[in-house]
Amino acid sequence: MSDGSGVSREVHAPFCEGLAGKLRRSTLHVFGHTNGMYNPWSILQCIDNKGRLKIYWANTSDNVLLERMIARASATVKSEIEHLLKGGSVEKVIEESIVYPDVDSRNDLMWSVLLFTGYLTSKSYEIKGGKTVCSLIIPNQEILSLYRDLIRKLFQDSVMDGQAHELLQALIDGESEIFSQILQRFILHSMSVYDLSSSEPEKSYHLFVLGLLVMLSDTYDVISNRESGLGRYDILIVPKQKNKPAVVIEFKKVWSDGPDALDKAAQKALKQIIDKKYAQDLYDQGIEDIRAYGIALDGKNISITSCILEKPQLSC
């Protein structure tokens, strides 16, 4: 053992002889931490399984607390989780004394829980105003896979009758009516399953965005809140094969109680995509098949307007 938690390369290397170098080349990426330590349980299990790389440590406990925290997290926290999944870091104040019942009501405690239970690690820290502020990252590929699996489960459990893939296919294919129907059920069901109040439907919408990031990761890059054209879009879904369709999504929250407020807001969101030229980055990459969605949100209710964007006018 070294000064940190885990074992060093010098300790585990002799045990890896005879595996044709496979484990030695791969353990840092899969089981290693940025501090040079390795998860001993995962290393030993990997050796026992002849060098087979898969999730070991993360499957030794029930991850229901992590699942619940992600589902019930605020929109801001879900955006930070999205950043972590893409290899980024977040700076957070860490509380050493945690009262378990407070975890549900205080989003800030989530980061301390994830750090102390090994689901995040600190790559650096400093003391500010008497508080410990850590730069947090996902430790390794094993834990990253765990996060992805949990978000995939949350997404699939939120769509009744196993319609997760149908929802995604309708989105990509521009089948706005089917997409609208399933998305509406997704929002209602996720709020029920994860006990979200009617005043916080945004948590369902951002769970949907996290689900997109994970479910489409093999064939698409999902990017949120970036500059393109003359403004910042909400979601851009970029195909890894440029001959596949891309998607631009803009959300609008409805504040008016008028009879047509929801539909008008969806149309306004779609017009914003066109007027602000949010698809410009896609055209710059040589992608010409682009679907645009304006989605209006009013509590549990939604309205969706869509079109296929035409080059070079970037209009419907």
User: What tens digit of pLDDT does each residue of 114-159 get?
Assistant: 988 888 999 998 999 889 999 999 988 888 988 898 899 888 888 7
For position 73, what pLDDT does the model report? 83
Q: Are 304 and 266 in contact (CB under 8 A)?
A: yes
Whether residue 249 sits in one domain with residue 259: yes
For position 3, what pLDDT does the model report? 45
Owning domain of residue 189: 144-309
Whether residue 74 sits in one domain with residue 51: no
Question: Is 1 part of a structural domain of the chain?
Answer: no
Whether residue 273 sits in one domain with residue 208: yes
Q: Please indicate whether residue 54 or residue 267 has the higher confidence score (pLDDT).
A: 267
For position 205, what pLDDT does the model report? 80
CA distance 23 to 310: 50
Per-residue pLDDT band at 62 (split at 50, 70, 90): low
For position 289, what pLDDT does the model report? 93
Residue 100 pLDDT exceeds 80: no
For position 199, what pLDDT does the model report? 60
Q: Please indicate whether residue 191 or residue 115 has the higher confidence score (pLDDT).
A: 115
Span between the terminal Cα atoms of the chain, in Å: 63
For position 118, what pLDDT does the model report? 82
For position 2, what pLDDT does the model report? 41
Whether residue 206 sits in one domain with residue 82: no
HSE (CB half, 13 Å, CA atoms) of 222? 22
19-42 confidence digits (pLDDT tens): 445 545 444 444 445 545 555 545
Instruction: Give me the number of domains the chain comprises.
Output: 3
CA distance 40 to 38: 6
Whether residue 248 sits in one domain with residue 158: yes
Whether residue 228 sits in one domain with residue 297: yes
Bond preceding residue 312 cis, omega within 30 of 0: yes
CA distance 147 to 153: 10
Residue 162 pLDDT exceeds 80: no
For position 195, what pLDDT does the model report? 64
Take residue 298 and report the two structure tokens written for it: 């009013």
For position 295, what pLDDT does the model report? 92
CA distance 251 to 131: 37
Flag the least confident range among 48-52, 80-84, 198-202: 48-52
Residue 12 pLDDT exceeds 50: no
Residue 53 pLDDT exceeds 60: no
Mean pLDDT of 94-118: 81
CA angle 22, 25, 29 (to 5 degrees): 115
Question: Is 152 part of a structural domain of the chain?
Answer: yes
For position 258, what pLDDT does the model report? 72
Per-residue pLDDT band at 54 (split at 50, 70, 90): low
Write the CA distances from 136 to 29, 92, 121, 133, 292, integer angstroms: 17, 7, 6, 9, 35
CA distance 159 to 214: 15
Question: Is 316 part of a structural domain of the chain?
Answer: no
Residue 46 pLDDT exceeds 70: no
Q: Are 167 and 183 in contact (CB under 8 A)?
A: yes
Mean pLDDT of 289-310: 89
The last residue of one of the domains, among 111, 138, 165, is: 138
pTM over 0.85: no
Q: What is the average pLDDT value for the chain, to the nearest integer?
A: 79
Question: Is 183 part of a structural domain of the chain?
Answer: yes
Whether residue 174 sits in one domain with residue 34: no
For position 171, what pLDDT does the model report? 92
Whether residue 216 sits in one domain with residue 70: no
Which helix (DSSP H) or strand (DSSP E) does residue 119 occupy? Answer: none
247-289 confidence digits (pLDDT tens): 999 998 887 677 789 999 999 999 999 999 999 989 999 998 9
Residue 17 pLDDT exceeds 60: no
202-212 confidence digits (pLDDT tens): 777 888 888 89
Q: Are 134 and 124 in contact (CB under 8 A)?
A: yes
Residue type, 17: E
